[in-house]
Amino acid sequence: MKYLKPITYFHVITGNRGDMAIKKSITEAIQERINVPFAFFNVKFEELTEQRIINQLNKDCSALIIAGSGLYTNYPMSSGFYFPCKTELFEKIKVPIMLIGLGCNNNLGSDIFKGDLTDKAKKSIKLINDLAVISTVRDQRTYDMLSNLGITKHQLMLDPGNFLRVPRIPEEKRVAINLAQHSPALGRFDGTTELRTYNVNTFANISNYLINKNYEVIFIAHDALETSLFIDIKKFVPRLQYLNSDNLDEMLKEYSRCQFSIGAKMHSSIMSFASGTPFISLYYDQKQIEYLKMIDCNELGISIFSDYSDTLKEKIDMIINNLDYYTNKIVNLKQQEQIKFDTLMDKLCNIISTTP
C-alpha cells in the first residue's frame, strides 16, 4: 500500500461556521477518494516561512491547498493579500499548489475591504496562480479580477460549501432564520447599534408573522457570538427556537427539514442550498449578490442596508406560494453543479496520488 503524505491546508480558522463548512466539504470529498491526512494551518497567524517550505512542506507533504473565503483581499500579510507567505518564496514550493473556492470581499455599506488591490497583492496573486495546478473562484467578479491580471487557467465554480453531503429528510412546516453582527456596519460592539436594533425588531416581527401562519421558526447561529441576537429577538417571540452548534451535520439537518430559510450570513444561504432548501438572502456584501447571480435567483435577495421589512414579507409569501418551484430549482441546480465539483475533486486526488 502506498502511504500518501499529508496535505498542507491553509484556510481561515474562526468561529464562523461558513469557514468550517468549506473545510468539511473539501476534506470529506477528498477522503472519499483517497486516504490522505491533512495538516491544517490558519492564514491569520501561521507564516509559511522559507524553512517551513524547504524542510517541511516540500519534504513531508503531498500538496499545498489554499481554500475558501475572501482571501484575494488587501491584507497586511507578507504576500500583500490574505495569505501569510512572502511572494518571493512561492517559487520555492515544489509540491502542487491548489487554490480552491477563493474570492475577493467587497462589503456594502461600509469601507471594509473596499478599493482596488495593491500592486503588491496583484503581483502575488498573479504569481501563485501561475504556479498553481488548480485554481477555482467562487464568483464572477473574482474570475474577472484574475482574468484582468492575465490569469487564464482559473475556473468559476460555486463555493465548496454548496457541495456538503446532506441526506434528504422529510420537510416540516418550519423556517430557519439567521442574523449577523460580525462587523461594525452590522452593529458589532465597536459599531453603530441602529441597524442592529432595526434587524432585531424586523426579525421579531417576521418570526411572529411566520408563527401566525403556523410555521415553527428556529434561529440558526453561524457564529457563537450571534447568541445575543437570539436573546433579543426571543424577548418578542417566546416560541422562537435556537441552534448554536459547531456540529455542521446538526445544522444541515435543521436546514434540510425546513421549507425555506431567511439568512444574513452568506453560508446560511449556502448551507440551505446544500440541503436542497430554498432561501431568502439578506445580503450585506457584494459576494452575496454574485452568488445569487450564479444560481439565477436574484429575486431572492434583499439588501440589509435597506428598509426591508415589507419587502421581506413579500418575498416570504412568494416562496410559500411557489415552494415546489424553488425547491426543485435548488435541488436540480445542485445536481448539475455537483458534477463540476466531483470532476475537480477527481483531478485533485489524481494529482496527489501521483505526486512522488
How much is the average pLDDT of 335-343?
Answer: 96
pLDDT at position 213 over 80 = yes
Per the confidence metrics, is the pTM higher than 0.85?
yes
pLDDT at 69 (0 to 100): 82
For residue 308, what are the CA distances in angstroms to 139, 210, 225, 288, 314? 25, 16, 24, 16, 10
- Write the DSSP symbol of residue 318: H
pLDDT at position 356 over 90 = no
Q: What is the pLDDT of residues 231-282, one digit of tens each?
A: 999 999 999 999 999 999 999 999 999 999 999 999 999 999 999 999 999 9
pLDDT at position 93 over 60 = yes
Q: What is the pLDDT of residues 109-140, one digit of tens each?
A: 554 456 688 999 999 999 999 999 999 999 99
Mean pLDDT of the chain: 94
Taking the C-alpha atoms of residue 20 and residue 28, their distance in angstroms, rounded to an integer, is: 12
Beta bridge partners of 155: 136
Residue type, 177: I
pLDDT at 16 (0 to 100): 85
Q: Which of 9-13, 14-18, 74-78 has the highest mean pLDDT?
A: 9-13
Poorest-confidence range of 15-19, 63-67, 302-306?
A: 15-19
pLDDT at 108 (0 to 100): 55
Report helix angle 140-148 to 286-294, nearest 10: 100
The ranges assigned to domains in the chain are 7-161+336-353, 174-321
Domain 174-321: give its CATH code. Answer: 3.40.50.2000
How much is the average pLDDT of 63-81?
Answer: 91
Taking the C-alpha atoms of residue 18 and residue 32, their distance in angstroms, rounded to an integer, is: 21
Write the DSSP assignment of 206-221 as a string of letters: HHHHHHTTT-EEEEE-
Q: What is the pLDDT of residues 143-180, one digit of tens each?
A: 999 999 999 999 999 999 999 999 888 999 999 999 99
- Under the banding of pLDDT at 50, 70 and 90, the label for residue 315 is very high
For residue 70, what are the CA distances in angstroms to 108, 139, 144, 166, 230? 14, 11, 15, 25, 27
- Write the DSSP symbol of residue 243: E
The reply to whether domains 7-161+336-353 and 174-321 share a CATH topology is yes
Taking the C-alpha atoms of residue 173 and residue 177, their distance in angstroms, rounded to an integer, is: 14
How much is the average pLDDT of 303-321?
Answer: 97
Strand ranges inside the chain, DSSP E: 7-11, 38-42, 63-67, 97-102, 134-137, 155-156, 174-178, 216-220, 241-243, 260-263, 279-283, 301-303
Write the DSSP assignment of 85-114 as a string of letters: S-GGGGGG--SPEEEEEE----BSSS-TT-
Question: Is the distance from CB of 259 to CB of 172 less than 8 angstroms?
Answer: yes
* Backbone Cα Rg of the chain: 21
pLDDT at 107 (0 to 100): 60
**What three-state secondary structure class fits 260?**
strand
For residue 220, what are the CA distances in angstroms to 24, 79, 195, 251, 267? 18, 36, 20, 7, 11
pLDDT at 109 (0 to 100): 54
CATH architecture of the domain 7-161+336-353 equals 3-Layer(aba) Sandwich (3.40)
